[in-house]
């Protein structure tokens, strides 16, 4: 990309933090709260309502690589601006929906625009534009970490006050504001010169066969499986241990503070640590946490170890997913590479809740589930170690 101008890191931080907070908060966070009122009003089955959402996730994964290629070749302005505006229009369309086919189509289109403007693409823009990728990504995650905290009560209040259709219309207006913010943020974005190839080295297909890419793909896919699996099953798993409900909710809620603590420590460490070393620590914390969960079904102390290790590892891996991958694989052509990493994690994200539910049913309880998660946690660590042992793929992520 041209070295002229570019977006200042401070602008990237405020712009991406705000627009990603709103983007995720309007599209994804309200969905569980909308299922019941949509089913009640329209008489649709929850299988249909949830299936449409799942189809949107699949569409986002399939569109991730084409979106990344477009970003590398043409820059972010057209891609992200169109995606953010499209998300606002589709949310407004959802507020008017009456037919199940239209509802399914809207979620599939939302998946496509998500690939154009939400996390994977946004972080690829940060990698391309930021002077200090790690510091910028870490700062953004401080803000986006509060997405659920902000939008769950906000969405619930809007539904209570305006009904689900009115609530979605307000969310669409908020997304329209995020679209305007994206346009402003990307005014100075670098645009590749016409006729200049993005990368002089191997093409994307060859890069996908490199040990470094394969290791990161294994690491992030296993991490995605654990994250989605625990998101769906952690509270019922803890309830099955016959602890008081307040204890169960406190353990589940402690994940967020552990994430924030880890990110604050990384921010404070600055350039004294490399993203490789951060990735080693984060990826190894995951299996330790899962083993603590598996070996201490009646131990609050071991459960606290689980929360601390999983929360800190999860919080750091979100940053490693961008800054660490850029340090290992290089920053050139990162849009397509990031898109490929996102696409690979779709299947484990979608499969994890169902597979853990089937294991629970077969075992008549959650007993073997933490042991499976511990095995997957070893894949997180093993994949990152394989990737990190390879030579640098390009310019450091600084």
For residues 303-318, average pLDDT: 96
pLDDT band at 190, cuts 50/70/90? confident
Q: What are phi and psi of 262, to 5 degrees?
A: -60, -40
Residue 202 pLDDT more than 80?
no
pLDDT digits (tens, 9 = 90+) for 30-73: 998 999 999 999 999 988 998 999 999 999 999 999 999 999 99
- 172 touches 97 (CB < 8 A): no
Query: Rounded distance, CA 145 to CA 3, Å?
Result: 31
Query: Rounded distance, CA 75 to CA 189, Å?
Result: 7
Over the chain, what is the mean pLDDT? 92
pLDDT digits (tens, 9 = 90+) for 133-167: 999 999 999 999 889 889 999 999 999 999 999 99
What percent of the chain shows pLDDT beyond 90? 83
Rg of the chain over CA atoms, in angstroms? 21
pLDDT digits (tens, 9 = 90+) for 348-373: 999 999 999 999 999 999 999 999 99
Question: Which of 200, 224, 220, 219 is closest to 330 using CA atoms?
Answer: 200
Provide the token pair at 82: 């169109």
Residue 255 pLDDT more than 60?
yes
Query: Rounded distance, CA 130 to CA 123, Å?
Result: 10
Query: Rounded distance, CA 377 to CA 383, Å?
Result: 10
Query: Rounded distance, CA 83 to CA 87, Å?
Result: 6
Query: Rounded distance, CA 296 to CA 294, Å?
Result: 6
Residue 23 pLDDT more than 70?
yes
Q: Under 8 Å CB-to-CB from 252, ≥6 apart: which residues?
A: 234, 235, 238
Least confident segment among 90-94, 160-164, 193-197, 334-338: 193-197
C-alpha pair distances (Å), 66 with each of 23, 74, 81, 176: 20, 12, 16, 24
Query: Rounded distance, CA 169 to CA 375, Å?
Result: 44
What percent of the chain shows pLDDT beyond 70? 94
- 226 touches 376 (CB < 8 A): yes
Identify the pLDDT of residue 197: 47
Residue 201 pLDDT more than 70?
no
Identify the pLDDT of residue 198: 47
Provide the token pair at 241: 């241990």
Angle at 19 between CA 16 and CA 23, to 5 degrees: 130
Which domains does the chain possess? 9-188 (1.20.1250.20), 204-388 (1.20.1250.20)
DSSP 392: P
Query: Rounded distance, CA 165 to CA 159, Å?
Result: 8
pLDDT band at 390, cuts 50/70/90? confident
Identify the pLDDT of residue 394: 46
Other Cβ atoms less than 10 A from the Cβ of 277: the count is: 13
List, in sequence order, the alpha helices (H) in the chain.
9-27, 31-42, 46-74, 77-94, 100-117, 119-129, 133-144, 147-185, 204-207, 211-239, 245-253, 255-269, 275-295, 300-319, 325-329, 334-344, 346-363, 369-388
Identify the pLDDT of residue 236: 92
């Amino acid at each position: 990309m041209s070295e002229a101008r570019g977006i200042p890191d401070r602008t990237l931080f405020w712009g991406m933090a705000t627009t990603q907070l709103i983007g995720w908060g309007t599209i994804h966070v309200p969905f569980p709260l909308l299922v019941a009122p949509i089913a009640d009003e329209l008489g649709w089955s929850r299988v249909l309502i949830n299936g449409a959402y799942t189809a949107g996730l699949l569409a986002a994964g399939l569109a991730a690589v084409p979106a990344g290629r477009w970003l590398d070749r043409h820059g972010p302005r057209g891609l992200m601006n169109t995606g953010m505006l499209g998300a606002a229009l589709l949310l407004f369309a959802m507020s008017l929906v009456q037919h199940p086919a239209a509802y399914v189509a809207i979620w599939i289109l939302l998946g496509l625009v998500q690939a154009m403007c939400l996390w994977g693409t946004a972080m690829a823009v940060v990698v391309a534009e930021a002077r200090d990728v790690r510091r910028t990504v870490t700062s953004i995650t401080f803000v986006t970490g509060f997405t659920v905290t902000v939008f769950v009560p906000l969405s619930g209040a809007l539904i209570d006050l305006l009904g689900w259709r009115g609530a979605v219309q307000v969310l669409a207006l908020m997304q329209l504001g995020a679209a305007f913010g994206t346009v402003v943020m990307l005014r100075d974005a670098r645009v590749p010169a016409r006729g200049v190839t993005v990368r002089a080295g191997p093409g994307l297909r060859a890069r996908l066969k490199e040990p470094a890419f394969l290791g990161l793909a294994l690491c992030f896919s296993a991490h995605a499986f654990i994250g989605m699996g625990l998101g769906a099953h952690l509270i019922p798993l803890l309830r099955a241990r016959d602890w008081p409900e307040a204890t169960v909710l406190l353990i589940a809620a402690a994940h967020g503070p552990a994430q924030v603590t880890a990110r604050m420590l990384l921010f404070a460490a600055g350039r004294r640590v490399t993203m490789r070393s951060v990735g080693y620590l984060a990826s190894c914390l995951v299996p330790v946490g899962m083993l603590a969960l598996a070996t201490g079904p009646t131990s609050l102390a071991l459960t606290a170890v689980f929360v601390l290790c999983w929360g800190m590892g999860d919080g750091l891996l979100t940053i490693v997913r961008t800054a660490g991958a850029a340090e290992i694989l290089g920053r050139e052509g990162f849009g397509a590479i990031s898109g490929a990493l996102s696409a690979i994690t779709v299947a484990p994200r979608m499969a994890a809740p169902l597979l853990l539910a089937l294991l629970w049913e077969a075992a008549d309880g959650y007993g073997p589930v933490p042991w499976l998660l511990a095995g997957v946690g070893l894949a997180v660590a093993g994949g990152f170690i394989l990737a990190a042992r390879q030579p640098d793929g390009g310019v450091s992520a600084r």
